[in-house]
Amino acid sequence: MDKIKKNKKKNSKVKQIVVFPLKVLKPIANFLSEGIVRLERKKKDIASRDPFNDPERVNDNASSDTDAAEQVGHERIKALEKQINSKLIQTKKALSMIKIGRYGVCEKCGKMIDTDRLMIMPEATVCIKCEKNKEK
């Protein structure tokens, strides 16, 4: 059964926060740690495909279509790297939330994140309601 912590608010109301048991958190932490390794490997692999990192690349291409293809390839790689970096940050954040005992608690509103959301996206640090508000 989930443990419950009670936090006193300034107005002396008691707010209950559910804390996941260690036997549930340990596999999640392992999964997130493995995810960080996978993301770092993927980031390195993607960076190696950047046309701008190709040692054979000529800086002053005579052909404009070759230059355009390199530009498009480079921008695509940069977009993928940005996406991976974002996922890495979220994963590391979730891992730190496990370590401090706040995993599953929305960092915006303080309410519990729906377990269905955590099953699909274990790196989630905000509830779906706060995520939707952020997107607006």
| Pairwise pLDDT comparison (79 vs 22), residue with the higher score | 79
* pLDDT, tens digit, 9 for 90 and up, residues 31-78: 999 999 999 999 999 988 888 777 666 665 556 767 777 888 889 999
> What sign for the dihedral angle of Cα 83, 125, 109, 127?
positive
Distance between CA atoms of residues 123 and 115, nearest Å: 12
Strand partners, 6: 16
List of domains in the chain: 3-135 (1.20.120.910)
pLDDT given at position 12:
46
Distances (CA, A) of 52 to 39, 73, 75, 82: 21, 9, 10, 16
Q: Is the pTM of this model over 0.95?
A: no
